Amino acid sequence: MSLWFVSAAMLLYMVREVGMSPLRQAALSSGVQGGFVIGAVLSALFGLADRFDPRRLFAFSAVSAGLINLSLVSVVPGSAPAIAARVLTGLLLAGVYPLGMKIAVGWGDRDRGFLVGALVGALTLGSAPPHLMALGGGTDWRLTVTIASAGAIVAGLLCLRVGLGPFHAAAAAFNPRVISTAWKDHRIRLAYVGYLGHMWELYAMWAWVGAAAAASCGISLGDARAQWLARLTAFVVIGAGGSSCALSGWVADRIGKAEVTIIAMVVSGLSALATAPTF
């Protein structure tokens, strides 16, 4: 998952190199999200997770995403090929995150909250390293992109050695009518809207926390020190959610998933609102 935010983590240095327009900056940062949505819908429509061994599909997606992301080092930052590479990377990541959840829940029955929480925690931790890599790589964004891409390739190959759990089962065939039926149930509708709002808040924060921290620190610190502190801040802020995801999943198995979700979203939303006046 380090591929997801690698361009956002190094966006400043890409802009300094080629002078990107704001529109291209936004496209480079959000292209992965757009590609992920497309990939997730296509995967559901064609039932890819049930047509193929999820471990092999996970490995193929992770390795391919790593190779495509690596192509960023050979194209002009912010160019059409670079943006296309980010969209394709997101599309392929749709074969990583959802497949990872499918593999994980196959290993448990009553503790699925913890299993999913641990996986989401891994996603969270995996999204933070690009900022840590930037600390070691300095202004060389190509080095950071290369390291992140290599990590994805290695992770994909390792997945081939993962076993399927005793509770692994094929999902039901995709039926578009279920979407309409589910939307009519106000409980499911509220869950959809809540998840949409939370992910909008979360990914916006993850994508821009580094740039926001750099701008804030730059008011009172020199540029070099501000950039260093901003990278460290982004890594800590994103990575901090890793351990709490597993803990929240464990608690959810005991007191209820909806209750834990409500508490987490309220705290997260209030924290987001508090960000603006503390800038």
What are the residue ranges spanned by the domains of the chain? 6-164+176-275
Rounded CA-CA distance 247/117 in Å is 7
Q: Which fold has domain 6-164+176-275?
A: Growth Hormone; Chain: A; (1.20.1250)
Report the run of H or E that residue 184 belongs to, with start and end.
helix 177-184
Give pLDDT tens digits along the chain (279 positions).
778 777 777 777 788 788 778 888 888 878 888 898 898 888 877 878 777 888 889 999 999 999 999 999 898 888 889 999 999 999 999 888 888 888 887 887 777 788 888 888 888 887 787 777 777 655 678 888 888 899 899 999 998 888 887 777 766 666 667 777 777 888 888 888 888 888 778 877 777 787 788 888 777 777 778 878 888 888 888 888 887 888 888 898 888 888 888 898 888 888 878 877 776
**What pLDDT is stored for residue 256 in this prediction?**
86
What local confidence, expressed as pLDDT, does residue 108 receive? 76
How high is the pLDDT of residue 225? 80
pLDDT at residue 85 in the model: 92
Task: Give the number of other CB atoms < 10 A from CB of residue 165.
Answer: 15
Quote the crossing angle between the two packed helices 97-105 and 54-70, to the nearest 10°: 150
Predicted local confidence at residue 137, as pLDDT? 57
Sequence letter at residue 193: V
| CA distances in angstroms from 63 to 3, 47, 93, 156, 209, listed in the order given | 11, 21, 10, 5, 28
pLDDT of residue 173: 64
Determine phi and psi for 78, rounding to 5 degrees.
Answer: 85, -5
Quick one: CA dihedral 259, 261, 264, 265, positive or negative?
negative
Task: Give the separation between CA 188 and CA 153, rounded to whole angstroms.
Answer: 36
Q: What is the Cα–Cα distance from 87 to 105, expressed in whole angstroms?
A: 28
Output the six-digit token pair for 124.
Answer: 């969270």
Task: State the burial class of residue 210 (Cβ atoms within 10 Å of its Cβ: 0-12, 13-18, 19+).
Answer: buried
Return d(Cα 10, Cα 134) in angstroms, integer.
7
